[in-house]
A and B are shown apart, each in its own frame.
Chain A
Amino acid sequence: MLSPGSGNTVIKSKLISRRMFLITAAKAVVMVGLVGRLISLQINQATKYKSLSDKNRFREWKLAPERGAIKDFFDTKIASSEPLYQLHLVPENAKDLDNLFVRLKAILNITDRKVSYLKRVIKKQKPWEPVIVSENLDWSDFSRINLFLHELEGVEPIVSVARTYPDNSSAHILGYVSQISAKDLQTKEYLKELAVPGMAIGKTGLERKLDQQIIGKVGYQRYEVNAFGKRIREIKIDEGQAGKSFKTTLDYEVQKYTNELLKDKAAAVCVMDVYNGDIVSLVSSPTFEPNEFVHGLDKAYWNSLIKNDKKPLANKALSGLYPPGSTIKTLVALSALENKIIRPLDTFRCKGKIELYGEKFHCWEKEGHGIVNLRKGIQRSCDVYFYEVARKLGVDRLSETAKRFGLGKKVLNDFIEERSGVVPNTKWKKKYIGQNWYLGETLHSGIGQGYFQSTPLQLCLMTAQIANGGFEIKPRIIFDEKNDNLRKYLKHKNENPNEPLPTDLLVSNFYLKPLFKNQEHINLIKDAMFSSSNEPGGTSYRHRLENPKFTFAGKTGSSQIKRFTEAQREAEVKQESLPYKDRDHALFVAFAPYKNPQYAISVLVEHGGSGGKAAAPIAKKVIQKVLERHELRRSVNNQIGESV
């Protein structure tokens, strides 16, 4: 076998070559397979893999756009985006973290807790990801940091933009912005493409209503990143687009003034232009500090808001529901006149109480008002008179009028916090309570108690629509130079007193919707309200303004929290001596000036006792303030040209 015999060798050599040929063929097949695979990956699927590679390569960081400003009627910014000084730290740039924190603690006011929190964050993150040491530095801290910057390696002072409010006077109507939440992302379609982590979005009030337009267009920075997510270099930057700014109908001066008046009370004030529905002022008290919400709320502050019995977070003017009390008597009277149930001079005798359907119904005046007609009924707010009127009118006709004047439904668009209230009638009770209407309940409804629920805004609208002669207006907060039809109509009518056209044609020419059958009825109510505020015996006579420029006509109201027991009635228990929680809510609605109505106001003071004592004095001051600024307001309104 060891002999390399030529025959053997040749056979063997041939065998080897034959087998090698087989192997070579197999190799060729594999080679072709490899080339095929290359064709498949690099030619057929190149586009797919190029995009995957780009996805690997580039990462985009969205840039939060600057939020649009919200201005008042006089273009004062009441919510703006202001520079904000922050301190970031990039751990990989710091040589000695412990030492750095010691230095920072010496310069800034950082707690040990914050430092240990930051250290934990740093451990979790990649070393090149910045941590925010301080969200909001004041200018002196910021300049001090910049002074020592050379010895604080790894620290980066950053100038960013954040929502800023000049004060808390308009906190409720403006609302606040806060960090975007997972729920926001789910429920709000427009946020899907512009969600930037850490971006503040509107959570309540106007900030929420206008969010989609005010938020702006998101920009982005495109970076090349490595496999670990570290940014290598910036490829492209798009600054995005700042959000749209909005001008509102609010008067910041009045807001501040009213807010100061209501301080520490649980109260709400709403002031409205009676001709175009412009909301001049809308204040709820106690207020809260909206700036606190922008950078993550302090827990202690949040708890203090939540635990406060006066509910500072609720916008009482929009979402507070209160029985309208005697303020509804204006509509009861109007409804009765319109439905020809009574005539103005029809009288009833008030003896302090009546007994009907086996129940005693008391007038607030224990001694009774004697002979009472419509004017006196409203002036003195005689309950017995309105029991009689309501009994004859019936709740269904009353509810129809009340609804027509804006009660029982939402008045503004898109304010999630606004509530619609209740205007009860027989159908409503059947549907929601499942019981038949009792006649006694009609009497309670006639003085605005029972099932009646309304917001101060609704009461203000009701008053405004009486004041303007009974035309429908749509309350608004966003300034709109158009849609001032009612003023144009009145101007036209005053300039052409002899125009032969019938009123209803004029009305339709100006797209107006009258709420009355006979405008004379509206005037009767207005006159009665005048007497209530300006004639002796009127419920708010003590708080009248005598200067005819400011004279207002109003109606008091108090909505009962707890029914008086017979014993309390006998003992003539005063509201002031009741525990705070049991006192009535004080209400007051008015319009001014009486001769030439411009503004309507509603005031609510929770547990304030009687409307005449608690609410009317506030209304008086606010009315004076608003009217003092009326000329200024009109002059701005007339030179509109600047678009916002």
Chain B
Amino acid sequence: MLQPRSIQSSLGIRDKILSLDFILVISILLLGIISMFAMYSTDGGEFKYHTNSHILRFFVFFGMFFVVSFISIRFWHETSYLIYVGVFILLLGVKYFGLTSSGSKRWLDLYFMNLQPSELMKIGLILFLAKYYHRISIEGINSFRYLILPITVLIAPVILVATQPDLGTSILIAAGGIVVAWLAGVRAKFFTLSGLAMLALLPIAISFLKPYQKSRILTFLNPERDPLGAGYQIIQSKIAIGSGGLFGKGFLNGSQSYLDYLPEKHTDFIFTLFSEEFGFFGSLFILLLYALILSRIIRIGHMTRSNFGKLYCYSFATAFFIYVAVNMMMVLGLLPIVGSPLPIMSYGGSSMMAIMFGLGIVMSCKIYKDVPVN
């Protein structure tokens, strides 16, 4: 305790493994395994492309999670800005070299996978701001001088992503950034004011929305508006979940997904499929797993000594929660369809990579909880 730094920097691999948060690791693994079954079901009960690819990705990024965990939090603190800048460059790359699919340009072709840098930006922004607010003193936080940079690093990627166009992800990126600022102590008044400003700008923003985005919002407000068109996804998802009942229709028996009524069942609507097949109790179990993961992350944030670690863990936990909540509210018909994956469960390499990377840093905070970052 007297020389924490020397003790922790010389941690052996065995010590590192032993100081892992096993409950968190097991929860993630459990969720991962559940997601594999769900993916197997979306493939109609066969090991097809989505299932195989999802299993492979899960284990690759789960491995990456450990690698990231075992690297000192100090390293991650030091490279935070660099990571942000790297991801930002990738985002710019998307703008010029990106792959276009169904009308939006979101991906970079890396030959072995299509990378979606906007997913990585979710973590990158949190890292950047956590470091930034770690470094400035409590008195400086609310001075205008120290607001310029955070606002810039927040707005720049949000605009880039929003114009891909990918409204959902850009909102989620912004949410992560705002959470860091809030936790760091930026005054509530500031959020209220910018909130009001946003509201004032809303009509202008709406005029920039693509027709399909407007239609999604209108559809959310009244799904029966166009039951075969834009309202279809919400209605079919609610039917699938509702018809699951208490115990669900059974594994591989989700008729809504099996008969192709569910849209995007591999990605955004994976929870719908699970909920249809495993019912209320299955859904509750998933929610509890997510709650457990969250509580472990918060616990780690509580344990960690550095404010960088705390800011990061709390922010990540909150952002993680927002991703889960937004996805679930979306498939339960409580939010418009904005296109946001369910962490760990949904098919998608970049999202999996970002979440595992983010969790790895959390775990690094745990292993190196007593290491001061500077």
Contacts and interface: CB of A to CB of B under 8 A. Distances in A.
Interface of A: 1-2, 4, 8-9, 11-13, 15-17, 19-20, 23-24, 27, 30-31, 33-35, 37-39, 41-43, 45-46, 48-50, 52-54, 56-57, 224-228, 232
B236 to A, nearest CB: 8
B31 interface: no
A8 B138 CA distance: 7
The 10 A-B pairs of least Cβ separation, nearest first, read A49-B242, A53-B243, A1-B137, A42-B280, A226-B259, A46-B245, A227-B260, A41-B242, A49-B243, A227-B261
Interface string B327-369: 0110010100000000000000000000000000000000000
Contacts of A1: 135-137, 139-140
B270 to A, nearest CB: 16
B238 interface: yes
B280 A16 contact: no
A35 B321 contact: no
A33 B139 CA distance: 37
Interface string B126-149: 000000000111111000000000
24 contacts: A1-B137, A1-B139, A12-B185, A13-B307, A15-B184, A16-B314, A19-B182, A20-B314, A23-B314, A24-B298, A27-B294, A27-B318, A33-B334, A42-B242, A42-B245, A42-B246, A46-B242, A48-B242, A49-B238, A52-B243, A54-B243, A57-B256, A226-B259, A226-B261
Given A38-B275, A38-B283, A42-B246, 8 more contacts: A9-B307, A15-B184, A19-B182, A37-B332, A38-B332, A39-B280, A52-B242, A53-B242
Contacts of B194: none
B301 interface: yes
A4 B374 contact: yes
A30 B239 contact: no
A228 B263 CA distance: 12
A331 B182 CA distance: 110
B325 interface: yes
Contact of B321 (A8, A9, A27, A53): A27
A26 to B, nearest CB: 9
B342 to A, nearest CB: 12
Given A12-B307, A31-B287, A49 B137 contact: no
B332 A34 contact: yes
Given A27-B318, A35-B284, A224 B259 contact: yes
A53 B236 CA distance: 8
B310 interface: yes
Contact of B298 (A11, A20, A35): A20
In this complex, the interface size class of chain B, counting residues with CB under 8 Å from chain A, is 35 or more
A20 B243 contact: no
A232 B260 CA distance: 11
Contact of A227 (B139, B179, B245, B259): B259
B183 interface: yes
Contact of B239 (A13, A27, A49): A49
A20 B291 contact: no
B52 interface: no
SS of A interface (majority): helix
Contacts of B136: 1
A31 B320 CA distance: 13
A210 to B, nearest CB: 42
A23 B291 contact: no
B32 to A, nearest CB: 21
Contact of B242 (A24, A50, A226): A50
B165 interface: no
SS of B interface (majority): helix
B284 to A, nearest CB: 7
B243 A50 contact: yes
B27 to A, nearest CB: 16
B240 interface: yes
Contacts of A232: 259
Given A16-B311, A50-B242, A225-B259, A42 B138 contact: no
Interface of B: 135-140, 179, 182-185, 236, 238-246, 255-256, 259-261, 275, 279-280, 283-284, 287, 291, 294, 298, 301-302, 307, 310-311, 314, 318, 321, 325, 328-329, 332, 334, 372, 374
B260 to A, nearest CB: 4
A225 B261 CA distance: 10
A23 B255 CA distance: 38
A43 B185 CA distance: 42
A19 B183 contact: yes
B135 A56 contact: no
From A48, A54, A227, name the one whose CB has the most chain B CB atoms within 10 angstroms.
A227
Contacts of B298: 20, 24
B231 to A, nearest CB: 14
B284 A38 contact: yes
Contacts of A227: 236, 259-261
A34 B185 contact: no
Given A12-B185, A16-B307, A45 B259 contact: no
A8 B325 CA distance: 34
Contact of B238 (A8, A41, A224, A225): A41
From B245, B275, B294, name the one whose CB has the most chain A CB atoms within 10 angstroms.
B245
B239 A15 contact: no
A38 B318 contact: no
Contacts of A37: 329, 332, 334
Nearest to A13: B307
B239 to A, nearest CB: 5
A43 B183 contact: no
B336 to A, nearest CB: 15
B332 A45 contact: no
A56 B261 contact: yes
Nearest to B182: A19
Nearest to A19: B183
Contacts of A39: 280
Nearest to B314: A20
Contacts of B179: 23
Given A20-B298, A38-B283, A13 B310 contact: yes
A257 B135 CA distance: 113
B203 to A, nearest CB: 28
Contacts of A41: 238, 241-242, 332
Contact of A52 (B138, B183, B239): B239
Given A16-B314, A39-B280, A45 B242 contact: yes
Nearest to A2: B135
Contacts of A30: 321, 325
Contacts of B184: 12, 15-16
B260 A226 contact: yes
A20 B245 contact: no
B81 to A, nearest CB: 15
A588 B30 CA distance: 98
A43 B182 contact: no
Contact of A23 (B242, B310, B318, B372): B318
